[in-house]
Structure 1
Amino acid sequence: MNVKDLLKYTYGFVPIVAGLDKFTNILTDWSQYLGLGLQNILPFDASTFMMIVGIIEIIAGILVLVKTKIGAIIVTAWLVLIALTLIFSGHYFDVAVRDLVMAIGAFALYKILKD
């Protein structure tokens, strides 16, 4: 398997799995990552918000698999936004750093396809 395919399948399937888990919370309770400030302005509860996030992640993962270049840049932006949300919440800095590292990998996939 070449590097491009490895990145494509990683950044395709991981968002799909994470998105599906927003409905089951098997991997973690995803709502714990929402800062109280964000939770207070939502018109619905945190678990509903995380299901919406899950749908977006599933779509992003599918996009990486079928329209890799566009999907890679969307996943890059999505991961950066998640990291910024975590940083501004003042919690889970370790997860924010990991999301930024994953964003760099997704961006590398985009660059491989662009060049």
Structure 2
Amino acid sequence: MVFPLRAEIPDKVTTDVTFLSVFDPTAKQNLKNMETTVKNVFSLLKYTYGLVPIVAGLDKFTNILTDWSQYLSEGMIPMEAGTFMMIVGVIEIIAGALVLTKTKLGSLIVAAWLILIAITLLISWSYVDVAVRDLVMAIGAYSLYKLSDHA
């Protein structure tokens, strides 16, 4: 069963579903199920892109997960790697907190941050696998941004 869904025009969706429910009594329930799915995906992405940057940011101070300075190329920054990573950690913690509190803004910041990290890694042609992963994660953060209007 297929019915038109115009999520960007909520009144139109209601009208379409009301019209279709004459022909298909499950149309309203299908729309409700879709709305629930969107809300669940939104929540999953929100907590993922909120908590992961916070954890990674905190780890910049402890290096429990990894030695973060290994991702910096020699001469890339004009300060000690540990100091730079602590600054990065603070930025990541703020970005994660923004995703949790102001999701639309925070998700765009996290997406941009991930793209910048990926570009930096690609320029130095080191950790290309991490760069690709970060680009994919940026797509997920941008998806969260797009969903924030509908959840």
Q: Same fold (TM over 0.5)?
A: yes
Cα RMSD over matched residues? 1.1
Compute the TM-score of the two structures, normalised by the length of structure 2: 0.72
Question: Could you tell me how far 1:114 is from its partner in structure 2?
Answer: 3.5
Map of 1:33-52 to 2, 5 A cutoff?
33-39=71-77, 42=78, 44-52=79-87
Q: Which one has a bigger Cα radius of gyration?
A: 2
Where does structure 1 lack aligned partners over 5 or more consecutive residues? none
Structure 2 residue 46 is matched with structure 1 residue 8: yes
Amino acid across the alignment from 2:71? Y
Higher helix share: 1
Counterpart amino acid of 1:88?
Answer: I
Greater relative contact order (CA < 8 Å, ≥ 6 in sequence): 1
* 2:67 alignment counterpart: 29
Equivalent residue for 1:97? 132
Matched residues in 2 for 1:37 and 1:46: separation?
10
- The answer on 1:82 being equivalent to 2:120 is no
2:61 partner SS: coil
Query: 1:4 is matched by which residue type in structure 2?
Result: F
Aligned match of 1:56: 91
Alpha-carbon offset, residue 4 of structure 1: 0.3
* Partner residue of 2:144 out of 91, 97, 109: 109
How far off is 1:37 after superposition?
3.4
Runs of 4+ in 1 over 6 A off after TM superposition: none
Identical columns (%): 71
